[in-house]
Structure 1
Amino acid sequence: MAHDLIVFGEDWGAHPSSSQHLVSHMAKEREVVWVNSIGLRKLSLSMGDATRAVRKLGAAFRRKAPAPRVAAPGPVVQPLALPMAESRMGRAVNRALIGGKVRMAAAGLKRPVVWAALPSAVAALGALGEHGVVYYCGDDFSALSGVDHAAAQRMEAELVSRADLILAASEMLASRFPAHKTRLLPHGVDAALFGTPVPRPADMPEGGPVAGFYGSLAPWIDLDLVAATARLLPEWRFVMIGAAQTDLSAIEGIGNVHRLGARPHAALPGYAQHWDAGIIPFRDTPQIRACNPLKLREYLASGRPVVSTDFPALNGYRHLIQVAQTPEGFAAALCASLTDTDGPGRQAAVAAQSWAARAAEAAAWIDAL
């Protein structure tokens, strides 16, 4: 019998996370209540944090939430909670605030299991009438940028002890948890979305080969590497798609670097299919060593060549990717990609790794609890 799900994840529709992909498929056979994020961020006086706080407060008190850009698999709950509350009183307040609101939305669920994609979900455990707890670990919260690491680690340790099943997105993450209840669940890919030909976007730069990246322009992106490579290859166009989440001065003022801003997920195949090579210029950090980026399989599903810095999640795909660490190496790999014709091989390598297949694995483990 399928367990219904109470999912604690990031804000629904904010970006197409692995939890959203997986739960969307599992929702075809079970009811789902989605609980928007309970913060893990360090509190600051920044305008971004203030705006986020006002938005969440407004959503928590709004009688009816606005329709998300992507249809949710069930009711979406915006909890009102004290961020990173660890005191006995703070935890009691959050347990009451979150539990009451979620129980109302989940009143009709059958044998619900909590899917906790954020350690902060531990605040509500035991107050929801859950039949089990799954910790879905897709990131290294002890190293994730912008997170209160010490508090996140304490919450994660408690969540791990209370979880009946732990699903880890990478081998490095899986190695940190008790083996008897941990399963490796690598990310999947929408191979049909990224492999079905679509027109070239009108804002794709002309006048030379294009190297492209999409994703958050965050501290773990090596913008110095991008800048130096762009200067070595003035005939290339470097397209950077994504919201700015760090200082971008390293790439500002370079004529062949084009920032296009964020784009909807459904629009990304048009870029990935029509640039000459996709790039993954990650810095070497603990967070990156533990990551399993969605864009890796999406780039491969598009069929275009991929040039990347080195990190463990490339294992299994290294024969399809050119790995470089220096601007000179990146430039040489990009030039070599212009004669690369193994698009079918890249697409074949990820064809069977669909989100539907990954969700079926997760569902089987959950329903066996």
Structure 2
Amino acid sequence: MSDESKTSHNPLSDFQWVVFGPDWGRHPSSSQHLFSEFLGVSPVLWVETVGLRMPQFTMRDLRRSVQKIVDFISGRRRRFATVPNGLTVICPPTLPFTSFKFIRHLNVWLVRRSVEKATRRLHFSKHTLVVTTPAQGDFVGRLGEEKSIYYCADQYALWPGMNQQHISQMERLLTDRVDAIVAVSDLLAAQFQQSGKPLYTLNQGVNSVHFSRSQPQQSTGHFEIVYFGMIDERLDLDLILEVAHQLPKTVIRLIGPATVSLHKFVGVANIRVEPAIPYEDLPESLKTSNLFIIPFVLTELACSCSPLKIKEYLACARPVISTALPEAERLSSFVHVAKDRKAFVEAVTAATEGKLSFDVLGTQRFIESETWQAKAVEFGQFVRGLHA
């Protein structure tokens, strides 16, 4: 069979995507994982724009702002525009002050110029526009798209530092303009039930092959508990501290960028805070892990999220303990859900003693059915239905 014939029968073929998302390759997001599956089959124009949060006078925000300017002037992002896999990344100049109408009009003009130039060069004629945050609603209907979709992966108005009223207003505008909405959880989808738009729940996927590289497990002589991801307001630092005090012979590794003060952990010998590890290297660093935890405080923000890490943890073939997040409850056949702090500490203790049940084969079968490729096929079928 010819390559052309194979492509024509591929369920991921015959699409042209214009996707507004976070910086490609910086921190792999749900949207990046999803559209990576289309590469080599359907062309993807990835448009990096400013985030939702107003920049603050901090070193972190200053570095990000400088990097954005350098990316635009130097054209560094064009390194990703590799013809063989069909990915083109552009970084139009935009300003983050979206509460000002003039700035939003300016951003639309700047982005429209960049996108139209790129779609002409790529010979796009019937592309589907996918936006991933409320701030991108201004671009819907103005980029020559055939259909538009809001891919909602979080409840953005609840993020720390956000102007909740402003974000909610932009999301309502976006919802009115798009042709359809895809949400990563039933809880997020429920927000859009009254929109009258086609609505689909596409649960998070996982790169099971990537995280299976964390096997075979290696022993360091101590029991290792791991959390990787953002170390932010969602984490119950007191619960982590309690686990550390109750089980002083264990080692607790917290891997990722911290946006909150971790002064509580100063002097606690068995808590190790480590910087973020590149996605490519993460499985190798997890080979010594014995247990994964999701110790989130059950706030509205935490309960509204659908953490990517749950399935990534499970793909490592280790037990997972979580506080009672809705997404953890949904996966309670594979994740041990602790109803309160006492139950959480008891579950971790049981794990250290080898008494926490974990269905290795059942979890493996489940994870193999939850790949990002399977999610991309689902997504493609939904979009084909819209066109039909």
TM-score over 0.5 for the pair: yes
CA contact (8 A) 2:251 2:270 kept: yes
Given the superposition, is the C-alpha separation of residues 273 and 179 from structure 1 closer, same or farther in structure 2, using an over 3 Å criterion? farther
State the SS of the aligned residue for 1:365.
helix
Pick from 210, 235, 238 the counterpart of residue 224 of structure 2. Answer: 210
CA contact (8 A) 1:212 1:239 kept: yes
Given the superposition, is the C-alpha separation of residues 330 and 153 from structure 1 closer, same or farther in structure 2, using an over 3 Å criterion? same
Given the superposition, is the C-alpha separation of residues 87 and 245 from structure 1 closer, same or farther in structure 2, using an over 3 Å criterion? closer
Specify the alignment match of 1:249 in structure 2: 263
Q: Following TM superposition, by how much is the alpha carbon of 1:14 offset from its aligned partner in structure 2, in angstroms? A: 1.0
Given the superposition, is the C-alpha separation of residues 330 and 73 from structure 1 closer, same or farther in structure 2, using an over 3 Å criterion? farther
CA contact (8 A) 2:251 2:272 kept: yes
Bigger mean CA offset, 273-282 vs 16-25: 273-282
Separation in 2, partners of 1:155, 1:84 = 13
Higher helix share: 2
Q: Note the residue ranges of structure 2 that are not aligned, 5 or more in a row.
A: 1-12
Bigger mean CA offset, 80-89 vs 181-190: 80-89
The question of 1:353 aligning with 2:365 is answered no
The question of 1:19 aligning with 2:36 is answered no
The question of 1:99 aligning with 2:99 is answered no
The question of 1:32 aligning with 2:52 is answered no
Separation in 1, partners of 2:174, 2:32 = 20
CA contact (8 A) 1:122 1:155 kept: yes
CA contact (8 A) 1:167 1:182 kept: yes
- Spell out, residue by residue over 1:153-192, the C-alpha distance to the aligned partner (whole angstroms, 9 max, x if none): 1111111111111000011110111364110000011122
CA contact (8 A) 1:132 1:164 kept: yes
Specify the alignment match of 1:82 in structure 2: 95
State the SS of the aligned residue for 2:261.
coil
Given the superposition, is the C-alpha separation of residues 37 and 228 from structure 1 closer, same or farther in structure 2, using an over 3 Å criterion? farther
Pick from 322, 343, 364 the counterpart of residue 336 of structure 2. Answer: 322
Separation in 2, partners of 1:174, 1:327 = 29
Identity of aligned residues (%): 30
CA contact (8 A) 1:8 1:121 kept: yes
Specify the alignment match of 1:292 in structure 2: 306
Given the superposition, is the C-alpha separation of residues 4 and 233 from structure 1 closer, same or farther in structure 2, using an over 3 Å criterion? same
Q: Following TM superposition, by how much is the alpha carbon of 1:275 offset from its aligned partner in structure 2, in angstroms? A: 1.4
Pick from 48, 53, 61 the counterpart of residue 73 of structure 2. Answer: 61
Q: Following TM superposition, by how much is the alpha carbon of 1:325 offset from its aligned partner in structure 2, in angstroms? A: 5.0
State the SS of the aligned residue for 1:142.
helix
Q: Following TM superposition, by how much is the alpha carbon of 1:350 offset from its aligned partner in structure 2, in angstroms? A: 2.1
CA contact (8 A) 1:3 1:366 kept: no
Given the superposition, is the C-alpha separation of residues 84 and 361 from structure 1 closer, same or farther in structure 2, using an over 3 Å criterion? farther
Given the superposition, is the C-alpha separation of residues 192 and 65 from structure 1 closer, same or farther in structure 2, using an over 3 Å criterion? closer
Q: Following TM superposition, by how much is the alpha carbon of 1:24 offset from its aligned partner in structure 2, in angstroms? A: 0.9
CA contact (8 A) 1:272 1:299 kept: no
The question of 1:142 aligning with 2:157 is answered yes
CA contact (8 A) 2:334 2:358 kept: no
Specify the alignment match of 2:3 in structure 1: none
CA contact (8 A) 1:224 1:251 kept: no
Specify the alignment match of 1:133 in structure 2: 148
Q: Following TM superposition, by how much is the alpha carbon of 1:303 offset from its aligned partner in structure 2, in angstroms? A: 1.4
Q: Following TM superposition, by how much is the alpha carbon of 1:139 offset from its aligned partner in structure 2, in angstroms? A: 0.4
Given the superposition, is the C-alpha separation of residues 77 and 322 from structure 1 closer, same or farther in structure 2, using an over 3 Å criterion? same
- Spell out, residue by residue over 1:19-64, the C-alpha distance to the aligned partner (whole angstroms, 9 max, x if none): 0111011234321110113220023222221221121122122234
Given the superposition, is the C-alpha separation of residues 72 and 264 from structure 1 closer, same or farther in structure 2, using an over 3 Å criterion? farther
Separation in 2, partners of 1:211, 1:104 = 49
- Spell out, residue by residue over 1:226-262, the C-alpha distance to the aligned partner (whole angstroms, 9 max, x if none): 0111011101110111112211112222100112211
Specify the alignment match of 1:169 in structure 2: 184
State the SS of the aligned residue for 2:222.
coil
What TM-score does the superposition give when structure 1 sets the normalisation length? 0.92
CA contact (8 A) 2:236 2:297 kept: yes
- Spell out, residue by residue over 1:322-342, the C-alpha distance to the aligned partner (whole angstroms, 9 max, x if none): 222554322210122223352
- Spell out, residue by residue over 1:164-223, the C-alpha distance to the aligned partner (whole angstroms, 9 max, x if none): 11000011110111364110000011122223454668xx8x342111110011111112
